[in-house]
Amino acid sequence: MMHDLPKEPTQQIQADASGYPRGRPRAHTFRRRREAWALDRFVIQHVEISDVSAYEASQA
């Protein structure tokens, strides 16, 4: 005689628009902030102006 195991209810994990599960919003937010910081620090080139007056004069 075979014994049937009780079936557990199926839980569906909802995902947000980015595909990450909704259950970890803090980890998701932390990861996004860390990624934004790394992009800002290492990828995006920032302009440094040493003489603002000369720059403004050249633009006018």
The model carries a pTM of 0.41
pLDDT band for position 50 (cuts 50, 70, 90)? very high
Q: Where are the beta strands (DSSP E) in the chain?
A: none
pLDDT band for position 28 (cuts 50, 70, 90)? confident
Q: Is the separation of the CB atoms in 14 and 24 below 8 Å?
A: no
Q: What is the mean pLDDT of residues 22-47?
A: 84
Q: What is the mean pLDDT of residues 7-33?
A: 67
Residue 40 scores a pLDDT above 90: yes
Report d(CA 55, CA 57) in Å as an integer. 5
Report d(CA 54, CA 60) in Å as an integer. 10
